[in-house]
Amino acid sequence: MATKYIVNNATGQTITGDLTINGNVVITGTTNTRPYKVYTALLTQSGGGNGQTIGLPPLTIGVTYTILSASPNDDWTNVGAPNNEIGTSFVATGTNPNYFDGGELEYNTGAPVVTVLENTIGNIWFTYVGVGNYTLLSNELFTLNRSWSIITPGDLINNLHYQEIFINDISQINILTSSDSAQSDSILFNTPIEIRVYN
């Protein structure tokens, strides 16, 4: 196989054929990227709504928490929080915060627990609204008329389980689940969801 070279500072260079790289690749310029930001995850939900508070770590990965109180040094940013401000909600990506000095978090045991597979959109979290009714929230990250979402449907042939998803506004997406035509909890189990926000 012939050796192929790219010459520094020369524009319009192309390598045709296979390219093998032994080592790291660092890109300092722009790259061709897909025309949207994406959020893909697996959702699991069980039981009804039940608000809880937690005063001591560890957190549970995939659970949505909201910061109720915090000391000046508390730092939740390494476990999924975009900041440490009271009222901030986030899905936990780790179990132990950078620093904890007596803050308090709240969560709802009925909110979907999420396994995030990819997230280039930003901070997204989940709430329990009522039986078979959940919201996926952001801080105005869902652009109207430029966002798309899908959730894998249940057994539509036998009408046993059904999931519906719709974008409500720039901050909220609703998820409804039902069993035998009645809204029900405990329908989502590793259920795939995808959201795209197009450029």
On whether both 130 and 180 belong to a single domain, the answer is yes
On whether both 104 and 75 belong to a single domain, the answer is yes
Note down the domain range covering 153.
35-49+110-199
The string of pLDDT tens digits covering residues 64-93 is 999 999 888 899 999 999 999 999 999 999
Whether the per-residue pLDDT at 7 is higher than 80: the answer is: no
Cis peptide before 112 (omega within 30 of 0): no
Token representation of residue 165: 């998803």
On whether both 137 and 44 belong to a single domain, the answer is yes
The string of pLDDT tens digits covering residues 20-67 is 677 776 666 556 578 999 999 999 999 999 999 998 889 999 999 999
On whether both 115 and 189 belong to a single domain, the answer is yes
On whether both 119 and 179 belong to a single domain, the answer is yes
Q: Strand 133-138 and strand 172-179: pairing?
A: antiparallel
What is the rounded distance in angstroms from the CA atom of residue 195 to the CA atom of residue 173?
10
What is the rounded distance in angstroms from the CA atom of residue 145 to the CA atom of residue 167?
10
Residue 23 falls within a domain, yes or no?
no
Residue 29 falls within a domain, yes or no?
no
The string of pLDDT tens digits covering residues 128-180 is 999 999 999 999 999 999 999 999 876 555 556 778 888 989 999 999 999 87
On whether both 197 and 139 belong to a single domain, the answer is yes
On whether both 141 and 59 belong to a single domain, the answer is no
Residue 21 falls within a domain, yes or no?
no
